[in-house]
A and B are shown apart, each in its own frame.
Chain A
Amino acid sequence: MSSAAFPRGKTAIVGAATYGIGKCPGHDAVDMAAKASLLALEDAGLHLSDVDALYTSAPYEALGGLQLAEYLGVQTKITDSNRTGGSAFEIYAAQAAVALSLGLINVALIAYGSNPATTSVKGVGMTRPSSYEAAYKPLAPISSYALAAARHMYQFGTTRRHLAEVAVAARRWAQLNPEAAVRDNLSIDDVLCARMVSDPLGVRDCCLFNDGAGAIVMTRAGHARSLRKAPVYVLGAATTVTHREISSMPDLTVTGAAVSGPAAFAQAGVTVADIDLAMVYDAFTITPILFLEDLGFCPKGEGGRFVENGAIGPGGRLAVNTNGGGLSCVHPGMYGIFLLVEAVRQLRREAGQRQLPKCDLAVAHGNGGVLSSEATVVLGRAT
């Protein structure tokens, strides 16, 4: 999509919800996705019968779109379950914006639920290890991100302390979010002294793997303005894929966000300096550093120094991952939906103690695979 082609401001997120963050016993993944869906529809003042498009990525079920449509009892015109990992939800938002603006559909529901902390389903997962990597026994996906971190440190002088800053900032935001799963104190030294998993990443450099569900509802802007809450307009959205396995990533220090980010900002007609909130996928502490660079918040290689001294925590120079992120709030396997939900809450002034004093423009940047699929969505209070 060229910047001229994207339906800037023609669609909006009108409902957003989370459910079951942390531990959600007694629920199947699809129960959780359905509950989040109902909450998001209620938030929008819409009903199941309004939904004519469904986008979902089920954690253990390849035909999850069909499963959720059946469970909810909705007969949809578009049902999509893409397989781009955690970035799927930003890609759904991009695709729903196009389909809505063309009039192909009227109300899109994007939903996700996953319960790795409490499920009795064993050996879940739908990907097979690469036969050209598996023999070397990398930890999936941690070692792939560790290799990216190691290369970034080598080229740019990034340090483990820089990585730790990301984990500590996430925790400090989480402490302001009653929904966040992990809220106890975390210091730089706690991160540095934590058990190493795959150098240079220790256990506190890695995201949570807990339960959680989220959903958003989208419709056209005109319809959105007649609904309960202030619309959150979709101003730009762009995606790209560069590889599947880390050994095929062209440059481990430059992600596809360097393509999707500038494209999404151009569609939105904004620059990175205009952004009040950066929701960037923090699967590991290296990923916000890479994405902040690639989206243009700082020059390439400066991400480590950019996050120093609490710069992305509460009261810092840039608000990043104000829900506590995948590192301290929720990461049930595919985290992308939660980036969008938190951006909506901040833009609507619904973020409670962690509410930013000014939040008119936000970016949600999703990541899938091993820095493989990148998707950037720009959201705003005004068109």
Chain B
Amino acid sequence: MIQRSAATGRHVFYPRIMVPGTGETDLEFVVASGRGTVYSTTVVRQKPPTPSYNVALIDLADGPRMMARVVGLAPEDVRIGMAVQARIIEEDGAPLVVFEPS
């Protein structure tokens, strides 16, 4: 789900009580497309045997950008411009949005 202003149709992420910059308060939760494009990517390096992992910024097809992890390939193989699709996993006992190549 993602917030959208009823009047302007603009999507907002992260969830808040208003549209930043313009102030509309008519935000409602709608189904997110789940589609996105990798805007930037990094690999957080860990001391082996702890695996290194990906941290990426995803430009959502709905408009906003979010931080996330791209999974389903080696963290260093994630490329800027890659088309990705959201998936919800459970991690540390909580749901988490991750992305995989689409």
Contacts and interface: CB of A to CB of B under 8 A. Distances in A.
Interface stretch (A162-170, A194-202, A298-306): A194-202
Contact of B40 (A137, A150, A195, A196): A150
Contacts of A137: 44, 53, 55
B11 interface: no
Most A CB contacts (10 A, CB to CB) among B39, B44, B69 go to B44
B45 A147 contact: no
Interface stretch (B1-9, B29-37, B60-68): B60-68
B57 A247 contact: yes
Nearest to B13: A132
Contacts, number: 69
Interface residues of A, number: 26
Among the interface residues B56, B57, B96, which one has the most CB atoms of the partner chain A within 10 A?
Answer: B57
A139 B45 CA distance: 10
A150 B91 CA distance: 27
A148 B66 contact: no
A50 interface: no
B66 A196 contact: no
B76 A199 contact: yes
Contact of A136 (B13, B43, B45, B68): B68
Interface string A130-159: 001101111100010011101100100000
B80 interface: yes
A142 to B, nearest CB: 9
A138 B14 CA distance: 17
Interface of A: 132-133, 135-139, 143, 146-148, 150-151, 154, 195-201, 245-248, 252
Interface of B: 13-14, 39-45, 53, 55-57, 65-69, 76, 80-81, 91-92, 94, 96
Given A132-B13, A247-B67, 5 more contacts: A136-B67, A150-B80, A198-B42, A199-B45, A248-B65
**What are the 5 A-B residue pairs with the smallest beta carbon separation, nearest first?**
A146-B42, A151-B40, A147-B40, A199-B43, A247-B67
